[in-house]
Amino acid sequence: MKRIAFDEFYRELYGERWTDLRDALLREPPTQRFDEGLLKPYFLDEASVTAARALSVQKGDQVLDLCAAPGGKTLVLATAMGPAGSLTANDRSSARRARLRRVIDEHLPGEVRERIQVTSHDASRWGLHERDRYDRVLVDVPCSSERHVLRSPEHLAKWTPARTRHLAIQAYAILAAGFAAARPGGTILYATCTISTAENDEVVRKLLRKQAGRVEVDHPRARLGEPTELGWILLPDRAGGLGPIYFSRVRKIGP
């Protein structure tokens, strides 16, 4: 019954496309060898590399990765910030943070690692203790992760439509914290691995509404994928099996 409800929910969003998209989500995703500036290669979905690069980290930037574990996107950001840059990689979960540290220690040279701080804060409350500091902020939030749900009978049995609504509320809290942490003129990249519009464009739309006059969308593009109203998405049925990855890039205006 849960599989039927799941299909009905996403068929309403994607119409006739849902059958092909669901079949693509059920297949094993391809991985990319990422080794630029690393001690050894790290393998991850090319869509994740695409999203991390969409933040457009420049040499010397002060960077915040709010939900950093397991660390693949963190490596992409770290290798882009140059010798004058710094990176704060945060994850609240101790187990995920331990994995994040291992990824950083095993893949990055010492001169890069010494400019990375790993923290354990609640990402949704970041703006309460550190505001207007970072040039670039990655907000890669926990999400519905339908590819994982479809491939896991245990998780599919627990799925309900309320899950995406709850995760959208949590995602907005983290995005708002990331917005507060960015300096005026700074860039925030909001990213998910969900196909739920409630957790994608609608979360960004809420930020635009709540921070009207203080934020603008800087529409990203990529080699693969397709535009949404407020961002970009790679869906596996039309991106060679990659994704799903959604991202939207916004710029903070004024104080």
Give catalytic residue positions: 193
Distance CA 24, CA 227 (A): 19
Distance CA 218, CA 24 (A): 29
Which residues make Cβ contacts (< 8 Å) with residue 140, sequence separation at least 6?
51, 65, 66, 67, 68, 73, 191, 192
Which residues make Cβ contacts (< 8 Å) with residue 21, sequence separation at least 6?
10, 14, 195, 235, 236, 237
Tell me which amino acid residue 138 is. Answer: L
Distance CA 188, CA 210 (A): 16
Distance CA 67, CA 190 (A): 11
Q: Judge whether 246 and 50 are in contact, CB under 8 Å.
A: no
Distance CA 112, CA 82 (A): 8
Coil vs helix vs strand at 248 = strand
